Amino acid sequence: MSVLPIVKWPDPRLSETCAPVEQITPGIERLAADMLETMYDAPGRGLAAPQVGAMLRMFVMDIGWKEGNSDPLVCINPMLQEVGEDRETGPEGCLSIPGVSADVSRPTTVQMVWTGLDGGRYVQAFSGFGAICVQHELDHLDGVVTFDHLDPDTRATLEAQYSEGLT
């Protein structure tokens, strides 16, 4: 396993839609292991394949590891099956936009279906932070970043702060 470099915004790959994973190969298994190692090293709770330059519909997440409740998930070709009507607005950070936190409004519950590394189909309901993490990582697979959820003035302010931090 290796820690991979994380792609930083405004890299154009972060705005691209990812291709489905056609087959679970040793390369996909290695990518999943490297993505988990990279996520833990960052340290984050989720990481999508385009964030490490792999333009595939795949992400990893482990929402409880920082509290000692590790439960890593590798989600291949994930899709939302159900989205709750209740919404909440809260701060979100992103490993590809370090140092920026933005308030994003998202549904508080979702149900996702995905393929695991074992080839099995999984369906799980997520709520609270888990629902936010799932939606954030799915956004990456569709070329959407946190900035894309913001009104133009807030986006311009946060982009300027982020750009200042790079110099």
Residue 7 domain-assigned (yes or no): no
Question: Does residue 167 surpass a pLDDT of 70?
Answer: no
- For the chain, the domain total comes to 1
Please name which of 85, 88, 79 lies closest in space to residue 124, comparing C-alpha atoms: 79
If pLDDT is split at 50, 70 and 90, which confidence band does 42 have? very high
Residue 3 domain-assigned (yes or no): no
Question: Does residue 3 surpass a pLDDT of 60?
Answer: yes
**Quick one: pLDDT at residue 100?**
94
Query: What domain range includes position 46?
Result: 12-166
Residue 88 domain-assigned (yes or no): yes
Segment 89-114, tens digit of pLDDT: 999 999 999 999 999 999 999 999 99
Question: Does residue 166 surpass a pLDDT of 90?
Answer: no
Active-site residue, 137 included: yes
Among the listed residues 29, 37, 137, 159, the single catalytic one is 137
Name, in order, each residue with C-beta under 8 angstroms of 47's C-beta and a sequence gap of 6 or more: 6, 35, 36, 38, 39, 59, 60, 61, 95, 137
CATH code (residue 139): 3.90.45.10
Residue 6 domain-assigned (yes or no): no
Q: How far apart are CA 145 and CA 5, in angstroms?
A: 18
Question: Does residue 121 surpass a pLDDT of 90?
Answer: yes
Residue 5 domain-assigned (yes or no): no
Phi, psi of 145 (to 5 degrees): -115, 170
Name, in order, each residue with C-beta under 8 angstroms of 120's C-beta and a sequence gap of 6 or more: none
Residue 157 domain-assigned (yes or no): yes
Residue 25 domain-assigned (yes or no): yes
Residue 81 domain-assigned (yes or no): yes
